Every structure is written in structure tokens, then in C-alpha cells.
Amino acid sequence: MPAISRQFRVLITSALPYINGVKHLGNVAGSLLPADVFGRFQRALGRETLLICATDEHGSVAELAAAEAGQDVRTYCDEQYRLQKRAGDGFLLSWDHFGRSSNRQNHELTQHFARALWKRGFLELRTTKQVFSIAENRFLPDRYVIGTCPHCGYDRARGDQCENCTRVLDPVDLINPRSALSGSSAIEIRDSLHLFLKQSQFVPQLREWIGGHRDVWPPLVSSIANKWLDEGLHDRGITRDVAWGVAVPDDIADGRLKGKVFYVWFDAPIEYIGATWEWADANGKGDAWRDWWFGEKSRDVRYYQFMGKDNVPFHTVGFPVTIMGSGEPWKLVDRLKGFNWLNYYGGKFSTSQKRGVFMEPALEILPADYWRYYLMAAAPEGSDANFTWPLFASIINKDLADVLGNFVNRVTRFCAARFDGRVPEAGSYGSAEHALAAELDRRIQRLTEELEAMEFRKAVAELRAIWVLGNEYLTEAAPWTRIKTDRDAAAASVRMGLNLVHLFGHLSWPLIPQSAQKIHRAVMDAPDIIPWPDEPMAEFLDGLGPGQKINPPEVLFAKITDEQIAEWEARFGGPQ
């Protein structure tokens, strides 16, 4: 078995889900779930681990969504936060803290970073052209302006991008532009003063930093980061003319930006630090949050980020520039795991078109572990992945029901029926058991390495292969037949089978925690964190005491039927 180093702490963040609505399975697969699986694995290894996430609440999208819901923006965000927290809990996401970017801590930190950047000369004032609504007496963010796309004729294209043809737009490009809030066409272009972050000055520093992570970042991440630099990194406006956000303090630019707020993509990544501060405050830990992020005390922290590929530029360029430009010793990411898209029947998940599966409806039809297993087995790592109901059902039925569930039920029920529901004492392990232990040593080492490397599809394939080994052993040993002629040999193979059940409970916990708890409880009580096995398998597989009571579980995984597939395609959308 591999030697496990516990000489560093593990900090994990996943891309902040935006506040407007419960997220779909693509959001889960691309950031939230892999961060949780990795966090559980790190805890199982015995490493001190902090798993942080939060809702991203500021900006024009929140304002617009609140207006459409007929609510003030704070009430809307309060309500949506509760919904997202409930959905995350339902998916068994084991955050140490799930914060909010609208909380005090993030406001203070965002203003702190802005002041540092201003004092060091990395922010400057520039005048930009923006749309002003005469009817509403306010500037309109780009996405608050709608009109007809000049490229495809779509009549509700936003001022930043047409969602029909995906072309990037400027509000002045739109035909018949109007306010998305009131519908008024009484709009005009006016000058507006804003802060710009001088990103272009950091290209050499970014190249060196990105290049230093070439061996530990996926090619997807490195290629996206370098593409932004190769195409020419431009300075970026970091303030907006909206009301909902972190206010620009008066001691920046002599108060000339009063009434403006920082751009959501400036303050949102800072909330990783802010949410850690929230965690410390909520748990009476004082300044312990700084030990994870700042100075010498954070030197033993290894920081991992998880996100979809669209978020990679902001985390490899934008946020690092904020930290580098501050001149302060804040923690930069060590390992960044980027994911491709999970599509739905070849197209995008869409709330408006009622296509695709979202978190809460998913939990209405199946337990969280079904979704957790599938989404990591089909994780969009090397390329985009495609969800279809038949593929989902096939993976669940073959892997969870036929392989794992079938093994646990076969051996525990046979033990209950023929050995009084207790671990048999008779019989000794022979060559088959010793060979199995040796093969498991090799496979668990590979599984450990794949999880450490955040190669989730490979890790799930390795875990399934370990389950298959158990089935193959039990089929070959055939205790239900052997018991007729050699009860001691049958007893030894049942004892091995029960120890394998115990092992599967340990190895499966990061991925399918609820089911792993049930599997573990079939042979003994399960701790809240089921530890990763680090002893040789010859020892682990002899760990259950003879005579120990076992408790066969109910069917762990019900198979998905063709009728259910048809029903769910009708409900969530199917082939076009």
C-alpha cells in the first residue's frame, strides 16, 4: 500500500454557483461534486482539510432576476441562497462552510484588495461609453440592454452576447435596443468613469507562474490560460454602474466613483477567502482563516480549485493579478482542475426550454449516490460529455446494481442464511485469497494515485474493477456450492467476502457516501468519516472478528427500468 503523507493541509474551493436558481447537473459535474469527492478523500486519508464554497450574489444578473421575481435583490438572494444550500446538502456536498459573497467579510476583503491595488498604481480611471436609460434614470449594464441581433435576427439578444447565435456583442450593435427592465427604448450612449485593473503589466509574471504549474495542471487549464496571454492580455474594467455589489470606497479616486460597485468577477474569487473568514467566525476560530491564506502560516497549505473551463481565465489570470498586484503574501492556487461541458442529449441544459436535469428535481426521482456515481464515472475531463437517460441507466444498472449491490447482498444474505448471520471462524485462507490480497494492494495503490491526481474517470473505473474482483472471487469460490462438501472452505470464502464488503465501504465513501455507510454498517458501525485503508490487504482482509454479527442491508441499488427512462425523457426532455 502507498505511504500517505500528512505533512500538509488541504484547502479546496469550487467555482461559486451564481445565485439565480438551483444548478443543473453540468454545474454539479464541473465543480461542486469533484471538489466534494476530493475533499472526502483527503479527509479519509487523515489530512486536515477545509472545503469551502459560497453563492456568487452580486451584479446585474441578480438585480435583473430579482426584478423579474418581483422582489428586492436582498430578499431574492436570501431565498435563493437557502435553495442552493438545500440542494447542495441533498447531493451530500460536505462543505465545511457554504458562504455568501454578499456577506460583510467579502465586502471588507474586496475593498482591501482594491485599496492595495490603487496605492500600488495598478488601478486607473478611464472613461467608457455606456448605455443610459432615460426612463429609469440609470446606466444599464450590457446584459440589461436587449434588442435584435444584427447577425441572426434574434429579437431578444442581450447587449453582451446573443444567446441564440452566441456572437459576442456590444449594446450599440443591437437593432432597436431597449431596456430589459422596463422595455423602454428611451436610451442613449453616455460617458461613465470606471476603474481598470492593469492586467497587461502582469504578463511576464503570469507566464512564469502558469509555466511553473505545467506538470500539475491539466492540459485544458494550461492551454486556456496561455491562450489568453498569447492573444494579448488587456486591462479590465472592474467597476460597474449597478446598485447591488461591493461599493467602491471614497478613499479610491477621491470619491469620484461614488455610487458604483466592483464588477462581480473582481469580488467573486475574493469570496473564497471571505467564506473562509465566515467559517472562522461561525465556529469561534478567530483569525484562524488567515492561517489558510496568508503568509508563513499558510506555507503548509496545498490549495486546490475546481471549475468548468469557462471559469479558468478568471482563476489563472484575473484573480492571480489581484493577489500579485496587492503585494501581499496571499495564497495562490497550487492545483487547478478544469472540466469540459456536460451536455444534455447533445445540447445545452436550459431552464427556459425545460431541457435537462437540475439538482432538486434529480433528487425527487433518485438518491444522491446514483447521481454522484454517474457524474464522476462520466466526468467531462478530456472532452465534453453527453448525458442521455439510456446511458445513465446502463451505468447505474451495471455498476451499482449488478456489480456492487449484487456482491454485498449475495455474501451478507448467504452468511445470514447459512452461518447464523455471524462472521464464520472455520477454515483458512489459501492461495486464492493471498493472490486476491496482492492484486488488491496493486489496484488500491492505483486508485489512490488516480484520486490524488484528480483523475476522476480513471479513479471510478479502478474502483469498479476492485468491485469486480470481489465478484469474480466469490463466483470462483462458490460457497453456496462448496458448503455441501467442505463447510470450512465455504466459511473461509464467506469470511473473505464479508471483509471485502468492509473494504468496499471504505473505498466507496468519497464517491457514494450514503451507500458506503450502509455497506459498512452491514459488517460493523460506520464512523462519520470512513478512513482510507493504509495497511496491507493481507491484514485488512483478516480484520473482522470471528463471530461478529452482520446485518444484511436492504437492496442497495434498485435498477432503472425502461418505463422510468421513458417517463423521465418526457419530463426532462429527450432526443430532438
Q: Are residues 474 and 399 in the same domain?
A: yes
Q: Are residues 323 and 428 in the same domain?
A: no
The domain that contains 14 carries what CATH number? 3.40.50.620
User: What is the span of the domain harbouring residue 444?
Assistant: 390-540
The answer to whether the beta carbons of residues 298 and 316 sit under 8 Å apart is no
Report, as an integer, the average pLDDT of 185-191.
91
The domain that contains 454 carries what CATH number? 1.10.730.10
Q: Are residues 471 and 406 in the same domain?
A: yes
Lowest-confidence region among 99-103, 173-177, 487-491, 560-564: 173-177
Q: What is the pLDDT of residues 221-254, one digit of tens each?
A: 999 999 999 999 999 999 999 899 999 999 999 9
Cα 302–Cα 303–Cα 308 angle in degrees, nearest 5: 145
User: Is 60 exceeded by the pLDDT of residue 558?
Assistant: yes
Q: What is the pLDDT of residues 366-378, one digit of tens each?
A: 999 999 999 999 9
Q: What is the pLDDT of residues 459-492, one digit of tens each?
A: 999 999 999 999 999 999 999 999 999 999 999 9
Q: What is the pLDDT of residues 373-420, one digit of tens each?
A: 999 999 999 999 999 999 999 999 999 999 999 999 999 999 999 999
Report, as an integer, the average pLDDT of 323-351.
94
Q: Is residue 347 part of a domain?
A: no
Q: Are residues 286 and 396 in the same domain?
A: no
Q: Are residues 334 and 398 in the same domain?
A: no
Bigger pLDDT: 181 or 555? 555
pLDDT at residue 1 in the model = 55
Q: What is the pLDDT of residues 31-72, one digit of tens each?
A: 999 999 999 999 999 999 999 999 999 988 898 899 889 999
Q: Are residues 394 and 536 in the same domain?
A: yes
Q: What is the pLDDT of residues 278-302, one digit of tens each?
A: 999 999 999 999 999 999 999 999 9
Q: Is residue 452 part of a domain?
A: yes
Q: Are residues 394 and 486 in the same domain?
A: yes
The grid coordinates of residue 482 equal 462448496
Q: What is the mean pLDDT of the chain?
A: 95
User: Where is 236: in which H helix or E strand?
Assistant: strand 236-237
Of 315, 339, 363, which one is at a domain's C-terminal end? 339
Q: Is residue 24 part of a domain?
A: yes
Q: How many domains does the chain have?
A: 2
Q: Is residue 570 part of a domain?
A: no
Q: Is residue 152 part of a domain?
A: no
Q: Are residues 438 and 297 in the same domain?
A: no
Q: Are residues 328 and 434 in the same domain?
A: no
What single-letter DSSP state applies at residue 316? Answer: I
- CA-CA-CA-CA torsion for 236, 242, 243, 248, nearest 10 degrees? 30
Is this prediction's pTM over 0.85?
yes
Query: What Cα–Cα distance (Å) separates residue 24 from each residue in 35, 348, 530?
Result: 16, 10, 29
Residues 6+ apart with CB under 8 A from 392: 374, 560
User: Is 80 exceeded by the pLDDT of residue 2?
Assistant: no
Report, as an integer, the average pLDDT of 259-271.
96
The answer to whether the beta carbons of residues 162 and 151 sit under 8 Å apart is yes
User: Is 60 exceeded by the pLDDT of residue 272?
Assistant: yes
Q: What is the pLDDT of residues 348-364, one digit of tens each?
A: 887 656 789 999 999 99
Q: Is residue 480 part of a domain?
A: yes
| 329-345 core/surface letters (b: 16 or more CB in 10 A; e: else) | ebbebbbbbbbbbbbbb
Q: Are residues 496 and 411 in the same domain?
A: yes
What single-letter DSSP state applies at residue 33? Answer: H
